[in-house]
Amino acid sequence: MKAHSIILAAAAIIISGCTTTPKSGNAAVMNLFKQADADGNSQVSRREFTDLLIAEAFANYDKNKDGFVTLAEWTAGGGTRETFLAMGGRSGKLTLAQVQASKVAQNQMALPFDQADTTKSGYLTLEEFVAYRRKAAPYVR
């Protein structure tokens, strides 16, 4: 599986709890938005969204939950050695902070944001988030 496909699948998994419209007050949607909205301005920026996706993907790769993703965990999840090294894994493991600071990860995780930001405003509304979830739902395993 290519890294691009893994990223899209991770994005779909992260938002898989969002099955209702914004007016329903779905707690899962609101909690996820609150988590993503680091600055509390009721909008989710590209950086906030990609940081959330990276954190969720990191948690999925960190199988033993020790706070590190090893090369073995990374490749077992479908990642490549080259990408692991490009994100800073030369020591044989990655931290969440390393991955979130990595331009490789930020660039790869930007694709789901670009798909969700239908108004091209540079931030996501709850409506855009829910609409993206519906679009990504067929890719959720």
* φ/ψ of residue 94, rounded to 5: -125, 145
Under CATH, what is the fold of the domain 3-139? Recoverin; domain 1 (1.10.238)
Residue ranges of the domains in the chain? Answer: 3-139
* φ/ψ of residue 34, rounded to 5: -60, -40
- Res. 85 pLDDT band, cuts 50 70 90: very high
* φ/ψ of residue 42, rounded to 5: 65, 20
**Residue 106 exposure: Cα atoms within 13 Å on the Cβ side:** 10
Which tops the pLDDT comparison, 3 or 60? 60
| pLDDT value for 26 | 65
Give 17-68 pLDDT, tens digit per residue: 443 344 444 677 678 878 888 998 889 999 998 998 899 889 999 999 999 9
Which tops the pLDDT comparison, 43 or 1? 43
- Res. 137 pLDDT band, cuts 50 70 90: low
Instruction: State how far the alpha carbon of 22 is from the alpha carbons of 18, 30, 63, in Å.
Output: 9, 9, 33
Looking at residue 77, the DSSP 8-state letter turns out to be T
| pLDDT value for 124 | 94
| pLDDT value for 29 | 67
Q: What is the mean pLDDT of the chain?
A: 80
